[in-house]
Amino acid sequence: MGSIDSLYDKVKRFVTEFTSGKSTSSAMTGYMTGELQIVVFMMILASFFRIFSIPLGMVILAAVVGAIFIFGPMIKTIEDENSSDLNRVLFWVMIYFAVIIAVTLWG
């Protein structure tokens, strides 16, 4: 389809990717604010790397901005990863613990 899509179609497709269920206006505001929060938060996280060296921080910030454009919207993924499904939580606990052990012991 590509080129014959109007801007309206593109925006519509982007917006409908946010939710899977019934998109009421109050649910949509939630998802869109959440998405924006995540975007800003990723950029803040990227800028933390200035502590090690400022050019590195700039590069990572640019990479994150690029990634946001490619992978967005990601609020659905965030929501899925934050579900209270036992296996998912267990998975993230293991990752956390491995990172803590690795960073503190060999960092």
Partner 1 sequence: MNESISNLWSIPLFIIIPILTAIALNIMYNRKKAISVTAVASSFALVVISALSPFGFHWFTGHPAVLPTGGYTYRADLLGWRLSLEYYYGPLQQIAIFLASLLLLFVVMISIKSLKKNIGPYISLLFLTFMSSAIVIMVNDFYHMWIGVEIGSLIVAGVVLASGEAVSQKAALKYTFFSALSGAGLAIALALILGVTGYSNISDAIKAMPLSNGSLASILYVAFGFTVLSWVYAGGLAPIHPLKADVYGASFPHATVLLQAQSKLMLVAIGLLLLRVFGTLPFAKEVMLSISVLTMMLGVVMAMLQTDFRWTLAYLIVSHSGLVTLGISLGTVQGIIGGLFQAINDVVYMSVLLLACEGVYYFGRGTSIKSVSGIAKRAPWLAIAAILGAFAASGVPPFNGFQSEIILIQASLNYGMPELAIVVLMVSVTTFIALFKGIYNIFLRPDDALNNNEKTGTPVPKILYACLAALIFITVLFGVYPQLAINFLTEAALKVVYIPWVP
Partner 2 sequence: MDSKGLKGSRGIIAVIALMIIFVGVSTSLLQLNGNVARGISPEYNELAPYEAPNNLASWVYDYRGFDTLIETGVIYVGALVSVLAIGRGIVRVKGVEGDAPVAPSSMEFNVSTLNVILKYFGVPVIILLVAYALLVLTGAATSGGGGFQCGVIFSSAYLLGMIFYGRKNPLNLSKKFLIAIGGVGWSIYALLGLPGYLTTGYWQYNVGADLWTSGVIPGVDGMAAVVPDILRQLFGDPFRLLLVMSDGTYASTAGIVPLINIGEAFNVIGAICLIFLVFVYGWNDEEEKSR
Q: Is 20 helix (H, G, I), strand (E, B) or coil?
A: coil
Whose CA is closest to 40, among 10, 15, 74? 74
The DSSP string of 90-106 is HHHHHHHHHHHHHHHHH
C-beta atoms surrounding 58 within 10 Å: 14
Which entry of partner 2, partner 1, none binds 14, CB below 5 to 8 A by partner kind? none
Please select the residue that binds partner 1; options are 16, 33, 53, 77, rule is CB under 8 A.
Answer: 33
Any contact of residue 6 with partner 2 (CB under 8 A)? no
Please select the residue that binds partner 1; options are 12, 16, 44, 59, rule is CB under 8 A.
Answer: 44
Which entry of partner 2, partner 1, none binds 10, CB below 5 to 8 A by partner kind? none
Rounded distance between C-alpha atoms, residue 58 and residue 37, angstroms: 20
Distances, alpha carbon 35 to alpha carbons 9, 41, 51, 102, in Å: 20, 10, 26, 31
Instruction: Fill in the per-residue mask, 52 to 91: x = in contact with partner 2 (CB under 8 A), - = not in contact.
Output: ---------------------------------xxxx-xx
Q: What residues make contact with partner 1 under the rule CB under 8 A?
A: 24, 26-27, 29-31, 33-34, 37-38, 40-41, 44-45, 47-48, 75, 78-79, 82-84, 86, 88-89, 92-93, 95-97, 100-101, 103-105, 107
